[in-house]
Amino acid sequence: MSIEFSKKLAAHETPIPGVVVYDLPVHGDNRGWFKENWQREKMVALGLPDFRPVQNNISFNEKAGTTRGIHAEPWDKYISVATGRIFGAWVDLREGPTFGTVFTTELDASQAIFIPRGVGNAFQTLEDNTAYTYLVNDHWSADAQGQYTFLNLSDETAGIQWPIPLEQAELSEKDKAHPRLSEVVPMPPKKTLVLGANGQLGKALRKQYEGDSSVEFAGRSEFDVTSAEAFSARNWKNYSTVINAAAYTAVDAAETPEGRAAAWANNVTAVSRLARTAVEHDLTLVHISSDYVFDGSRNLHTEGESFTPLGVYGQTKAAGDAIVNTVPRHYIVRTSWVIGDGNNFVRTMATLAARGIKPSVVNDQVGRLSFTADIAAGIDHLLQTGAPYGTYNLTNDGAPQSWADVAADVYELVGGHREDVTGVSTEEYFRGKAAAPRPLNSVLDLSKIQRTGFKPANSLSRMAEYLG
């Protein structure tokens, strides 16, 4: 076998999305040759997904003409030739517009190829004593075998030009019986799981992903984040992303003994289980944060500001953020003053206006509203664009306001009078009441998420739409 020595490590795209051929540097002398078949740091720097292989398999083939495939497994593969030479054929068997796309090439020991989950893999040996090796990022199991997708090697639609005609090649009876492309059920993508799907943000995420069969929704009755059994009962191999919209948000009740326990159970212990699950199964974890992780002493809060929570709720949210930050693939979406489908400040003010009530509203807490439709759209934007992992502030845009300003806007939009709203300090409003401490300034800097191309809607215009 003739191998080209001293190639530079290089990547070559193919017609199948995600399938990439790599040239590997092979160093040889009179004794033989040596190569770095898999070198994580260099490969990832070149653009290969950090797909975390867990198993190394070798297929030894005694005779030229041995042909195997076409098999699409529910995991990613990094394939190379240890010795000999092969003709490889790959067919996209994933759901989507590239279903049926074919790529073929010859590989020797100086090349490798990355094959994403759901792309059918086949090869034909061109030399005797060929060893075909591959790294995979999941362990084989009987359950996984039921998720395989197959295509017949002689499928007319794929039209693969095998160097050695199949009638002269060595095939298994099982491979001969695989279906034609018209009969293949495409492999669906891994799913996104939305937890807390019945809350205000959960409902907005339901609307954002309406009709998308790859997104699964679970309320507390379907998945209780405080239950260890809920985590162990789920087959996480079927998922790529978890959006955690579940949280304990009763700010004042969190200051009570019962509320403190519930806040820590939901916002910290449950989040630690989610983070461990994400690390173990290489999931992307999207987690919702809060302005309450800050004490409100700054005029503008950036993503890198140190935590300074004032009350129990803020302390639990800060602890949850710190945990999620250890997950390699994570988005922490920090928001404030959330308004969605359910009981909230804007609905309450609209109801009071309709009843002719003239309320006293806090005027020394300043921030921006965050409508759940925009939070959901921002989450989808981060995931779809593959924005760098990390923390992103996400509220609606516009001039910062006090709660009294927001209430006055609501009154005006529903036909009332701004003057019906009277401003009052936080201290005066909560005098004699059991209440958690609140940050006086909750304005979040939006420049980071805006740099990714996401432009949150103006708060006042969104409120007008919300109130109809």
Q: With residue 26 as reference, give the H or E element that holds it.
A: strand 26-29
Backbone angles phi, psi at 10, to 5 degrees: -150, 155
In the DSSP assignment, the letter for residue 268 is I
Least Cα distance to 180 among 154, 149, 148, 146 occurs for 154
Side chain identity at residue 226, one-letter code = T
Least Cα distance to 205 among 383, 62, 412 occurs for 383
Assigned token pair, 160 = 């693969």
Which residue has tokens 């200051």?
255
Assigned token pair, 13 = 């795209």
For the chain, give the number of residues: 468
Told to judge if 134 belongs to the known catalytic residues of this protein, a careful annotator would answer: yes
CA 460 to chain centre: 30
Which residue has tokens 């092969």?
86
Assigned token pair, 6 = 């001293």
Assigned token pair, 437 = 């401490």
Told to judge if 313 belongs to the known catalytic residues of this protein, a careful annotator would answer: no
Do the bridges between strand 390-393 and strand 330-335 make them parallel or antiparallel, or are there none, so unpaired?
parallel
Is residue 168 within 8 Å of residue 65, measured between CB atoms?
A: yes
Do the bridges between strand 130-136 and strand 149-150 make them parallel or antiparallel, or are there none, so unpaired?
unpaired
Q: Find the catalytic residue in 134, 248, 313, 331.
A: 134
Assigned token pair, 300 = 């503008």
CA distances to 75, 79, 136, 139, 173 from 57, in Å: 13, 10, 8, 11, 22
Q: What is the DSSP string of 40-77?
A: HHHHHHHT-------EEEEEEE-STTBEEEEEE-SS-E
> ω into residue 164 within 30 of 0, thus cis?
no
Do the bridges between strand 67-72 and strand 149-150 make them parallel or antiparallel, or are there none, so unpaired?
antiparallel
Q: Does the CA dihedral 162-164-170-173 come out positive or negative? A: positive
Report the DSSP beta bridge partners of residue 104. 89
Helix axes 403-413, 459-467, angle to 10 degrees: 50
Q: Find the catalytic residue in 71, 381, 389, 429.
A: 71
Catalytic residues: 71, 134
